[in-house]
Structure 1
Amino acid sequence: MRLRHIEVIQAILETGSVTAAANLLHISQPAVSKVLQHAEQQVGFALFTRAKGRLVATREMTILRGEINGLSENLQRIRELAGNLRLQDCPPLRVICTPTLASSVLPTCMQQWRQRYPDKHCSLATQHTDNIQRALLLRDFDLGLSLQPSFHPAIRSTCLTEGSVKAIAPPGFWPSGTKTLALEQLAGLRLTGLDARDPIGMRLNALLENLQPPPQVCTRVQTYQLQLSMVASGEGIALVDPFTATLATQQGLEQATLAPQITVGLHAWWLDEQPLLHYHQHFLDVLRSTTSNIKDA
C-alpha cells in the first residue's frame, strides 16, 4: 500500500464518501475512486461497503484503521517539520510558554523587547509543560518558558530567575501589613489547590497534608492562573508562584510569602543543537531583567 492510498483512505474515513474525500484532497472524484480501487486490489479485500448512501469501513478496514491513523499523524508531523525548516532563512521570534507565564510576564517582556526589534515578526502560544517540550522538538517554536526545568537530552534548560511561593487571599483576609504567612496558619483554612500531578503541586500537597487540621481543599485546578480567578471569586485562598502573585496584587488581592520559603524557578528551554540568535538572546536578557523586578514584589 502506497502513501497516496493512505491519504485517500484517510479522507474517506473522515468524510464517508468519495465525493467529499475528493473535495478534501482537491482532486477529482474519479481519481479518488481509481486510487481506492487500486488499494483494494493491492490488499486483496474490500475496504469499504456502502450503507445508506455512505461508505462504511469493513471489518478488515477497521482493524487497519489504527495503523493508518498513526501513519497519517507521522506524515503530518513531517510536513510541519519541513515547513519549519523552510523558515530558517528569516525566522521569526517563536515563543511558547505556560498560561500562567503568558499572563504574568510575557506582555511586559515583549513590550521592552520590541524597543530593539519593532518590526520583527513573532509567534506566541501557550501550552502545558509536556506540550511545550513536544513543540520544541518539532521545531514549531524556538524558545519555551516553564516553571519547571527540562530534563530531555535534546533540550537545553536554564533558570532565569527564582522566587518564593506566595499565599494570595481576598482583601482583609489577613491583618494589615502581613508580609509573611507561616505554613501552620493555613491549617483548617479553605484553599483552592493545585493539581496533584503538577511537580510544585506535589511538593505543596505533601506539606499541607501534615497540618492539623489540614486545609479544606474543595477545588483543585491545573494552573496558577485559574487559582487566581478562583480566589478572586471568593473560593478561599491559594498558594501560587511569585509571578501570578503580582497579578493578584494588581487585582486588589492580598499576598504574603509562605514560610518556610518554597522556591519556584522561571526556566527557558531551547534545542541544544539550535544556537540562539541575537534576538532570542535579547529576549532572554529582557525576561531575566523584568522578572527579577517582580518575583519578590
Structure 2
Amino acid sequence: MNFSIRQIFTFREVMRSGSISQAARTVGRTQPAVSTMISTLEGELGFSLFVREQGKLIPTPEARFFLEECEAVLERIERIERTVSKIRSHEAGKLRVACHPAAAGLFMPRILTDFLQGKDDLEVSLIMRSSDVIEDLIASQQFDIGFAETPEPRPSIKQTDFDLESVCIVPESDPLAAAEQITPQDLDGAPMAVLFEKHPMTVRTEAAFQRSGCRFRKRLELRTWAPGLQFVAAGMCYMICDMITAYGCLQQRQTTAGLAIRRFTPRISSSVSILTPGYATPSLTSEAFTARLCAAIGHMQAEIETSLSL
C-alpha cells in the first residue's frame, strides 16, 4: 500500500464531520480534491470506506475499524511534532555540563536556572571537576559543554577563550580598600591566600611580585578560591583571584559582607574557556546554552568593570 499521512488525516476529518464539504474546509482543500483523496485511499486499501444512503455519507464497518489505526498513527505523529517543536525551541532533550570549581557554586547554577525557565522536559547533568579532568570529559564526548581554565589547544576540543582580569579581594575595613588599584608594593610581605603552588594563577602572581622586587608571602594555600573569601573577611590575608570568584562576591553581598574588590596592577590573566567536543556535532540545545554562557560572561565583565570604577 502507498498512502500518505495527508490522506489519513483527511480521512479522519471526513469521519469526524460526516461530510466531504466540511472536511474540505477543515483541511483547507477543495471538495473535489478531498473526494479524489478518499477515492485514491480506497483504491490503495482495496475496500470501500463510505457509502451514500439518501444523500448522506455513511462510514462502512471497515472504515470504523481503520479509523482506530489511523487515530493511533496520527496521535504518534502529533506527539512527534510536539517533541520536534520542543527540541527546536530547546525545551526538551539532555544537556551535560562540566564546570570548574570557581564557577560551579554560583555562576553556572544561576545561568542554568535562567536557561531552564519554561523548559520542563529538558534534562541537565551538572558536575564539578578540575579543569584538566573537564578537558578529558569533553574530548571523549562524555559531556556537551565544559567550562574550565583555558587549556592548550587540541583537535578533539573546540574552545572559546575569555581572557579575564584577575582582581584583588581585601577586607572592607582595610586601608587598601580606599585605593583605586593595588600593586605588589602595597602587598609586599603581606599574608596572601593562594592556590596550590603549580597553579598558573599562583605562578603568574608570584612572578609579578618578583618583577616588582616584592615579597610574595603565601600564608594560606588553597585548592579553590571559595574558602579564601572567609579568610579575607576575617582580616587574615589578602587574595588575588579570578574574576568569577569576585563576581560571586557581588552577587552575594549579604553572605560576603566585609569584602572589597579592587583592580590589581600589573594585570594578571585568569583565562577561562567554553569547551565542546571537537569531533561531534553540537545539539541545538548545546549551541543555545553556549550562546547564553558567552552572554553571561560578557555581562559579568561589565559588572566587575563597573564595580572597579566606583
Scaled to the shorter chain, the TM-score interval is 0.5 to 0.7
What is the CA RMSD across the aligned residues, in angstroms?
A: 2.1
Q: 1:257 aligns with which of 263, 271, 274?
A: 263
1:204 corresponds in structure 2 to 205
Contact 1:136–1:142 (8 Å) recurs in 2: yes
2:232 corresponds in structure 1 to 231
Q: 2:107 aligns with which of 105, 108, 129?
A: 105
- The structural deviation recorded for 1:243 is 1.2
Matched AA of 1:93 = L
1:268 corresponds in structure 2 to 274
Gaps of 5+ in 1: 1-89
Write out per-residue CA displacement over residues 234-262 of structure 1, whole angstroms, 9 at most, x where no aligned residue.
43011101110122342121110111222
2:131 corresponds in structure 1 to 129
Q: Name the SS of the counterpart of 1:120 in structure 2.
A: strand
Residues 187 and 114 of structure 1, relative CA distance in 2, 3 Å threshold? same
1:108 and 1:202 map into 2 onto residues whose CA distance is 30
1:59-138 aligned within 5 A: 92-115=94-117, 117-138=119-140
Q: Name the SS of the counterpart of 2:127 in structure 1.
A: strand
- The structural deviation recorded for 1:121 is 0.2
Gaps of 5+ in 2: 1-91
- The structural deviation recorded for 1:95 is 0.3
Task: Tell me the percent identity.
Answer: 20
Deviates more, 1:115-124 or 1:269-278: 115-124
2:163 and 2:106 map into 1 onto residues whose CA distance is 15
TM-score in terms of structure 2 length: 0.61
- The structural deviation recorded for 1:201 is 2.0
1:294 corresponds in structure 2 to 300
Residues 98 and 203 of structure 1, relative CA distance in 2, 3 Å threshold? same
Write out per-residue CA displacement over residues 130-177 of structure 1, whole angstroms, 9 at most, x where no aligned residue.
111222234321111012234232111112x44311000122113555
Matched AA of 1:105 = F
1:103 and 1:257 map into 2 onto residues whose CA distance is 23
1:186 corresponds in structure 2 to 187
Q: Name the SS of the counterpart of 1:255 in structure 2.
A: strand
1:278 corresponds in structure 2 to 284
TM-score in terms of structure 1 length: 0.64
Larger radius of gyration: 2
Give the length in aligned residue pairs. 207
Q: Name the SS of the counterpart of 1:276 in structure 2.
A: coil
1:152 and 1:189 map into 2 onto residues whose CA distance is 39
